[in-house]
């Protein structure tokens, strides 16, 4: 059942290590067959090097595993909540990718600072509020999904396809699993660009004095040297 979707979701999961979006077994990708009301997700805790298409787990929209020998991802309930509330999405990627996760830890939304961002993400990527102690102690992954849905009460998930879960990391969605990974790659790139750009504009650094520049450059290249040409 759903062999083709399992293959596609497997291939999408394997893009995470290919694009450097994960370490160890972090992250997970899923894809849904809306007609059947079933989605396929990575199994929990399996090293990507050992992952096989047949390891993918099939889950219904009640959260029940209908196919698969392994436990579904620990984030399955978060994916489930998003599939239930965001009716047009076909695939979801969650990572702990370095730059997007670091931005999620700031608790800030990620502004659209440039056209690279704008090519894939329509505006500021929102950051959720922190989960309450009760939400953390309760159905944590379910509540993570609910906080994302709450964050989108005023936003259209078909226009903004990503969210930063505060202190946790990005969840990104698209029309299918593979496209959701592509968007997760871009999100991490533009988060890095935002960090660098904000640091560059906020920095109080000054260029070194000419004398220090001379000391280092000229002692290596000879007096009045021009780069690459040694003066006699």
Ligand X SMILES: O=C(CO)[C@@H](O)[C@H](O)COP(=O)(O)O
Candidate residues 8, 42, 117, 166; the one interacting with ligand X per rule CB under 6 A:
42
Residue 191's CB: how many other CB atoms inside 10 A?
23
Candidate residues 25, 109, 123, 130; the one interacting with ligand X per rule CB under 6 A:
25
Choice among 69, 77, 122, 227 that is catalytic: 227
Instruction: Look up residue 125 and give its DSSP letter.
Output: B
Q: Give yes or no: 119 in active site.
A: yes
Candidate residues 8, 9, 16, 28; the one interacting with ligand X per rule CB under 6 A:
28
Choice among 10, 55, 60, 119 that is catalytic: 119
Helix (H) or strand (E) holding 188: helix 177-202
The partner residues of 110 in beta bridges, in order of sequence, read: 125
Q: How many whole angstroms separate alpha carbon 202 and alpha carbon 83?
A: 40
Of 71-79, 110-118, 123-131, 147-155: span binding ligand X (CB under 6 A): 71-79
Q: How many whole angstroms separate alpha carbon 207 and alpha carbon 54?
A: 57
Helix (H) or strand (E) holding 28: strand 28-33
**Cα maximum dimension of the chain:** 80
Q: Give yes or no: 227 in active site.
A: yes
Of 57-65, 70-78, 122-130, 152-160: span binding ligand X (CB under 6 A): 70-78
Please compute Rg for the chain using Cα positions.
Answer: 22
Candidate residues 27, 31, 90, 170; the one interacting with ligand X per rule CB under 6 A:
27
Question: Where in 78-107 is the site for ligand X (CB under 6 A)?
Answer: 94, 96
- Smallest distance, Å, CB 137 to ligand X? 16
Please give the residue ranges that form the binding site for ligand X (CB under 6 A).
25-28, 42, 44-45, 73-75, 94, 96
């Amino acid at each position: 059942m759903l062999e083709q979707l399992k293959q596609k979701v497997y291939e999408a999961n394997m893009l995470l290590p290919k694009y450097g979006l994960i370490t160890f077994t972090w992250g997970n990708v899923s894809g849904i067959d809306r007609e059947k009301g079933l989605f396929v997700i990575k199994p929990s805790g399996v090293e990507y090097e050992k992952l096989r298409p047949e390891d993918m787990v099939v889950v219904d929209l009640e959260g029940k595993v209908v196919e698969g020998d392994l436990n579904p991802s620990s984030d399955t309930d978060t994916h489930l909540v998003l599939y239930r509330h965001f009716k047009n999405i076909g695939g979801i990627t969650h990572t702990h990718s370095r730059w997007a996760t670091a931005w999620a830890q700031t608790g800030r939304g990620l502004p659209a600072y440039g056209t690279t961002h704008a090519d894939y993400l329509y505006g500021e990527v929102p950051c959720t509020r922190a989960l309450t102690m009760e939400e953390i102690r309760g159905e944590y992954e379910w509540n993570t999904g609910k906080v994302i849905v709450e964050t989108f009460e005023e936003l259209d998930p078909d226009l903004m396809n990503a969210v930063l879960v505060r202190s946790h990391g990005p969840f990104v969605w698209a029309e299918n699993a593979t496209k959701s990974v592509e968007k997760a790659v871009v999100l991490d790139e533009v988060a890095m660009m935002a960090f660098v750009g904000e640091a560059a504009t906020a920095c109080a650094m000054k260029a070194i004095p000419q004398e220090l520049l001379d000391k280092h450059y000229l002692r290596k290249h000879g007096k009045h040297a021009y780069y690459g040409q040694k003066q006699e």
